[in-house]
Amino acid sequence: MVAIDRTMQKLVDRNEGTVSREIFCNQDVYDQEMQRVFLRSWLFVGHESQVPKPGDFVLSRMGEEAVIVTRDKQNRVHVLLNSCRHRGNKLCLHDRGKSKSFTCSFHGWSYDSTGALVALPYHDGGYSEMAKEKWGLASARVETFEGSIWATWDKTAPSFVDYLGGSELYLRTQLLGTDGSEDGAEVLGGLVKWRLGCNWKVPCPDVDRSHGWMTHKSLSDAFGVGPTGFPVRRGEGGGQRAYAGSPRTYCVAFPEGHTMGVTIPSDDDPNWGDAGVWADKPVIREYLREKYEIRKRRLGTMASLSVGPAIFPNEGWLGRVIRIMHPQGPLSTEIWTYFFVDRDAPQEVKDALSFYYERWYGPGGMTQQDDMENWYNLTIASKGPMARTLDLNYQMRLSEPPIHGPSRFGLPGLFTPLYSDENHRRFYQRWAEFMEAKDWDELSVRESAK
Partner 1 sequence: MVLTETITDQEIRLHFEIEQFLYREADLLDDRKYEAWLGLFTEDARYWMPMRRNVSSEELEHEFTAERHEMAWFDETKGTLVDRVKQIRTGVHWAEEPFSRISHVVSNVRILEAGAEEVRVRCRFIVYRNRMVEEQSLFVGSRIDTLRRAGRSWQIARREIYLDQSVMLSKNFTNFF
Which residues contact partner 1 by CB under 8 A?
A: 93-97, 188-197, 215, 217-219, 221-223, 334, 339, 347, 350-351, 354-355, 357-359, 362-364, 366, 368-370, 372-374, 376-377
Q: Give the shortest CB-97-to-partner 1 separation in angstroms.
A: 6
Q: Give the shortest CB-150-to-partner 1 separation in angstroms.
A: 22
- Return the number of the residue (120 or 378) whose C-beta is nearest partner 1: 378
Q: Tell me how crowded residue 383 is: count the other CB atoms within 10 A of its CB.
A: 17
- Return the number of the residue (196 or 310) whose C-beta is nearest partner 1: 196
- Residues contacting 240, CB < 8 A, separation 6+: 213
Q: How far apart are CA 143 and CA 152, in angstroms?
A: 9
Q: Give the shortest CB-274-to-partner 1 separation in angstroms.
A: 18
Q: How far apart are CA 252 and CA 422, in angstroms?
A: 8
Q: Give the shortest CB-17-to-partner 1 separation in angstroms.
A: 26
- Return the number of the residue (128 or 347) whose C-beta is nearest partner 1: 347
Query: Are the C-beta atoms of 61 and 81 separated by less than 8 Å?
Result: no
Q: Give the shortest CB-214-to-partner 1 separation in angstroms.
A: 9
Q: Give the shortest CB-424-to-partner 1 separation in angstroms.
A: 21
Q: Is the four-CA dihedral 48, 51, 52, 53 of positive or negative sign?
A: negative
Q: Tell me how crowded residue 345 is: count the other CB atoms within 10 A of its CB.
A: 22
- Residues contacting 401, CB < 8 A, separation 6+: none
- Residue by residue, DSSP assigns 164-233 as HGGGHHHHHHHHS-TT--TT-EEEPS--EEEEESS-TTTT-SS--GGGHHHHTHHHHHHHSB-TTSPBPP
- Return the number of the residue (73 or 217) whose C-beta is nearest partner 1: 217
- Return the number of the residue (42 or 361) whose C-beta is nearest partner 1: 361
- Return the number of the residue (292 or 338) whose C-beta is nearest partner 1: 338
Q: Give the shortest CB-404-to-partner 1 separation in angstroms.
A: 38
Q: Give the shortest CB-122-to-partner 1 separation in angstroms.
A: 23
Burial per residue of 386-418, b for 16 or more beta-carbon CB atoms within 10 angstroms, e otherwise: eebeebbebebbbeeebeebeeeeebbbbbbbb
- Return the number of the residue (109 or 338) whose C-beta is nearest partner 1: 338
Query: Are the C-beta atoms of 170 and 307 separated by less than 8 Å?
Result: yes
Q: Give the shortest CB-190-to-partner 1 separation in angstroms.
A: 3
- Return the number of the residue (127 or 223) whose C-beta is nearest partner 1: 223
Number of H helices, E strands in the chain: 12, 23
Residue 425: C-alpha distances to residues 21, 49, 257, 418 (Å): 14, 35, 9, 14
- Return the number of the residue (93 or 161) whose C-beta is nearest partner 1: 93
Query: Are the C-beta atoms of 259 and 206 separated by less than 8 Å?
Result: yes
Return left, alpha or beta for 49; rule: phi > 0 is left, psi -120 to 50 is alpha, else beta: alpha
